[in-house]
Structure 1
Amino acid sequence: MERGRRSRVRPWMAWVLVVAVAGVGFGLYWFQPWKLWQDETVQEALPGAVDVTEAPAAAPSGAAPSPSAPAGPVTVASGALISHEHATSGTVKLVRLADGSHVVRLENLDTSNGPDLRVLLADAPVKEGQAGWHVFDDGDHVSLGKLKGNKGNQNYAVPEDVNLARYSSVSIWCDRFDVSFGAAELVQG
């Protein structure tokens, strides 16, 4: 009789074990907790920036600079990142390049790594604390792509059809959990 009882318990225990393993596997995939200990540093130069180590050719004395020389990158707006769900610091700049295109530049970024992080250009106001965690996908926003790294300097091209006057902030956004890791208000000037 003991033998019959064991055979009924084993299939039940096997199903519990299968469900538990599947649950742990799904949880690991969804949360990706190992990313909290993995840093990815990106060091991109600003497109079109002049390398100061290369001296320009000297113009003949009395000659005016060439009017056809393109202007270098110009910072149109900028702001400091504040922390939301995770400690985040650095500077965000909206930069107009010499060809008229725009990039959002993250400088000295330092935040946590996480699953499905993106850079959002948004119309939402930047709010301190938990009040600012979930607002950046509520209104008008544009994803500029996946975050290239959680540390360093990096550039994100702004699509040409984006009306920049409509957007006032940038967020490091976790798309998987709909939460801001950090954000900056873009201030003109």
Structure 2
Amino acid sequence: MGRVRGMPTRPVVVGVLVVAVALVGVGLYWFQPWKLWQDETVEEALPEVTTAPTATVAPETPQAGASGPAEPTEPAGPVVVASGELISHEHATSGTVRLLRLTDGSHVVRLEDLDTSNGPDLRVWLTDAPVKEEVDGWRVFDDGKYESLGKLKGNKGSQNYPLPAGVDPADFSSVSIWCDRFDVSFGAAELARA
């Protein structure tokens, strides 16, 4: 029995199937759709600093007008420098962002009560871009100055992201949950100075 004219040969069919399976594998790796159903919750406490605040030692003999030891010259805990509420972009996102100055002078971006979708290659970015609502705000955060504070630790919860040494927080006005793989913001917050 001869081959039916117009029907592909077995090696062609096998070749097409191999290419199709490879493309599906690459697509699954690239998009990671299973992450849409996987939540990672991370609950971190407010950052603590091991350096104690400086204080002036009280004299051993009371002097006129002295009322005891001097108060610490710096606050005992983190100070909120700026804060804002996350708005949704590519994915529904909510929570609060706080820029904190610790007693040692370092800064931390804290995400509180974060709730967003999981996704491939999510980062926390400190940026100078204005936060725009709707589709207009999805792709603006890599247009100007930005600093990646690292991979998103979890798509839910409260987390801390230290600013690298030498980064001046005054140069930035917003925070984005940024998908580095697809260059899109999942959500962002405008930072209002305290």
Query: Aligned partners of 2:70, 2:14: CA distance in 1, in Å?
Result: 80
The AA in structure 2 aligned to 1:32 is Q
Instruction: Show structure 1 runs of 4+ deviating over 2 A.
Output: 1-5, 62-71
Provide closer, same or farther for how the CA distance between residues 183 and 8 of structure 1 changes in structure 2, counting only shifts above 3 A: closer
Identity of aligned residues (%): 73
- Once the two structures are superposed, residues 87-111 of structure 1 have per-residue CA deviations (whole angstroms, 9 ceiling, x without a partner) of 0000000000111100000000000
The equivalences for 1:25-174 within 5 A come to 25-48=25-48, 63-64=68-69, 67=72, 71-174=76-179
> How many residues are treated as equivalent by the alignment?
177
Query: Aligned partners of 2:145, 2:173: CA distance in 1, in Å?
Result: 10
TM score, norm. by length of structure 1? 0.87
1:19 matches 2:19: yes
Query: What secondary structure does 1:36 align onto?
Result: helix
- Once the two structures are superposed, residues 70-128 of structure 1 have per-residue CA deviations (whole angstroms, 9 ceiling, x without a partner) of 63100000000000000000000000011110000000000000000000000000000
Q: Say which structure is richer in helix.
A: 1
Query: What secondary structure does 2:98 align onto?
Result: strand
Unaligned segments of structure 1, at least 5 residues: 50-61
Query: What secondary structure does 2:84 align onto?
Result: strand
Structural RMSD (CA) = 2.1
Deviation of 1:47 (Å): 0.9
TM score, norm. by length of structure 2? 0.85
Structure ID, larger Rg: 2
Provide closer, same or farther for how the CA distance between residues 2 and 65 of structure 1 changes in structure 2, counting only shifts above 3 A: farther
Query: What secondary structure does 1:2 align onto?
Result: coil
Deviation of 1:9 (Å): 0.7
Unaligned segments of structure 2, at least 5 residues: 50-66
Deviation of 1:171 (Å): 0.1
- Once the two structures are superposed, residues 121-176 of structure 1 have per-residue CA deviations (whole angstroms, 9 ceiling, x without a partner) of 00000000000000001100000000000000000010121121110000000000
